[in-house]
Structure 1
Amino acid sequence: MPPKLYALPSPFEIETGTVLMLEPEWARAGELRAQLLDESYAKPFVIDDGEFRYLYFNVRLMQSQMALKTPHDLVLRYTQKMLGFLLFHPRPRRIVQIGLGGGSLVKFCHRRLPGVHITAVELDADVIALREAFFVPPDDARLHIVQGDGADFIDTAEKGIDALLLDAFDRNGFAPALASQDFFATAYAKLSGNGVLVANLAGDQEMYTGVIGRIMNVFDDQVIVISVPDDGNHILYAFKERHFEPRWRWLNNHAKELRSRLGLDFPAFAHKMERASKLNYAQREALRGR
């Protein structure tokens, strides 16, 4: 049985609606309201405004957004751009995602990529406990959600991961356990021959600029970084394929087919990636972290 969520009116001025929390029905609303406002509340929580449902650790850093009428669509632009790896690996068989959040990517891939097996690794059991609030489907033959440390999972995972998606954050930003050179070296080893690592870089820029340089060291500079101005994020793609040389003209045509099949603006993604690659945007961002 899924947990019954405790509901109380949002105490926040901007984030209006109803707050949904993993608390018993006898919890004291006044105490919970005070903890939310002073950011001492220790669990993730949901805000439902009747149109969208949001996942928060605190109101300064939104984790996920879901449209209630179309819960399997990708609302946030950064989640759409994380799927840009499909331009280079259009038929993945195995995807591993570290960081479940509200499950937007998991839901989309499970529904729209029928041939893929997806494993999502989430450290926080309370985030997993909220999966039904975001309509994440139950585990089945193609979907497994694992509670555990993402770095530990990759360390023991079998080789042959086609896409490794990093979308894991703590209350301060990019998860430190996923930011080391050793982790990226292990991830590189576990990817398939033309596998792609994709990282959502958000939060304090000083915390993740060094990450770009470490990934470039491991992936022999075969890295593309694009910005997501709407969300304030950057998306990094790192390619294991030897002598990676994108055929941009072919990719632009392929992007149109992907747009038709999946309903996302892959031509815009391809254009932005080509521009970032030719301007050496990843190298410039890596230098800022030194």
Structure 2
Amino acid sequence: MQTYLTLPSPFNPEDTIHLLEPVDADRNAVLRQVLSGEYAKPFVIDDADTRSLHFSLSLIQSTMQRRNAWALELEYTQAMMSFWLFIPRPRRILMLGLGGGSLAKFCHRQLPACEVCVVEIDPHVIAFRDLFDVPADGERFQIIEADGAAQVAEAARTGARFDVVMMDAFDRYGLADSVSSAAFYRQVAEILSGRGVMVANLAGEKDARAEHLAMLGEAFDGRLLCINVPEGNDVVLAFANPAFEPRWRELANQAKELRKRSGLDFPKFVQWLERSQRHYWG
């Protein structure tokens, strides 16, 4: 079992910080690195209500409610579940990026007939899985330490197919370089099942988002819908089926049922998606 160095937080003595360091590490030196931004590993901060994975002081990668570890705390993660409107019973989900495991846990619990495979390149992120109550590997859940783009390429080579591919592949500098290419998005389109959906979280500089939207549009022949999340993220859905056309009245009815099942505001997501159609559908 992974051990952590746990100290009073340098930001608020009532909170705690968890670090991937030996218990006999020079505590003052480690905390100085965290405060200066020189600390190279992710770390976790607990306050009274939440547990958050940080890549730096300014970048919170994931947040979990300590009293409800399975809830989706951040709105962009809730919006990423909007694929459920279009794939009611997914059988296989591939996730690129683990973070604090919020989406992985939610899908594992809410979709009991679905296999979830999570690919995470950073072993230090994986090392915090127990703190975030991420399920153990088993028959329908596993975490693979690998580069997400390389895993997609391998799936394309072997003919593997997924109903949903979810991408939340960030490091401390933004979207990972390996997923920032047109070839990557073309391979994602290749490994989706006939009616499959890719869900991509885009954040960061406006120009970088525009580049990714352009690459997604090319790979999926313009079949995109986008949710502009107030937190500052763009959640993009890309559809594999060339004949797909959103039926908004049916989706609105499905959204009400999904809200009852999950507690998430799917009717709001449908409204946001419908507003985006004129920009991304053609």
1:212 deviation in Å? 0.3
- TM-score normalized by structure 2? 0.96
1:83 deviation in Å? 0.6
User: Matched residue of 2:130: which SS?
Assistant: helix
Separation in 2, partners of 1:221, 1:244 = 12
1:3 deviation in Å? 1.4
Residues 43-91 of structure 1, C-alpha deviations (whole Å, 9 max, x = no match): 1100001210000010111100000100001010000000101111111
The residue number in structure 2 matching 1:190 is: 191
User: Matched residue of 2:62: which SS?
Assistant: strand
Separation in 1, partners of 2:195, 2:177 = 26
The residue number in structure 2 matching 1:257 is: 257
Separation in 1, partners of 2:22, 2:114 = 37
Letter in 1 for 2:134: V
The residue number in structure 2 matching 1:59 is: 57
Letter in 2 for 1:273: L
The residue number in structure 2 matching 1:215 is: 216
1:207 deviation in Å? 2.1
The residue number in structure 1 matching 2:269 is: 269
Letter in 2 for 1:223: L
Please list every run of at least 4 consecutive aligned residues from structure 1 whose deviation after the TM superposition is greater than 6 angstroms: none
User: Matched residue of 1:33: which SS?
Assistant: helix
Contact map agreement 1:159 1:192 (CA 8 A) in 2: no
Residues 91-137 of structure 1, C-alpha deviations (whole Å, 9 max, x = no match): 10000000000000000111111010000000000100100000001
Letter in 1 for 2:229: V
Contact map agreement 1:173 1:207 (CA 8 A) in 2: no
Distance 1:168 1:16, change over 3 A: farther
* Structure 1 runs not aligned, ≥5 long: 284-290
Letter in 2 for 1:184: Y
Separation in 1, partners of 2:71, 2:78 = 9
The residue number in structure 2 matching 1:70 is: 68
User: Residue 155 in 1 paired to residue 156 in 2?
Assistant: no
The residue number in structure 2 matching 1:288 is: none
Letter in 2 for 1:149: D
Q: How many pairs were matched up?
A: 278
Letter in 2 for 1:77: E
Letter in 2 for 1:183: F
1:12 deviation in Å? 2.9
User: Matched residue of 1:267: which SS?
Assistant: helix
Letter in 1 for 2:113: G
* Structure 2 runs not aligned, ≥5 long: none
Separation in 2, partners of 1:138, 1:104 = 14
Separation in 2, partners of 1:53, 1:102 = 9
1:16 deviation in Å? 6.7
The residue number in structure 2 matching 1:204 is: 205
**Identity %, equivalent residues:** 45
1:172 deviation in Å? 1.5
The residue number in structure 1 matching 2:96 is: 98
After superposition, residues 1-290 of structure 1 pair within 5 angstroms as: 2-12=1-11, 17-157=15-155, 158-229=159-230, 231-278=231-278, 280=279, 282=280
Contact map agreement 1:159 1:189 (CA 8 A) in 2: no
Deviates more, 1:160-169 or 1:15-24: 15-24
Cα RMSD after superposing both structures: 1.3
Separation in 2, partners of 1:44, 1:92 = 32
1:36 deviation in Å? 0.3
- TM-score normalized by structure 1? 0.93
Separation in 2, partners of 1:179, 1:16 = 40
Separation in 2, partners of 1:220, 1:207 = 20
Separation in 2, partners of 1:146, 1:235 = 24
The residue number in structure 2 matching 1:287 is: none
1:243 deviation in Å? 2.2
Separation in 2, partners of 1:109, 1:187 = 20
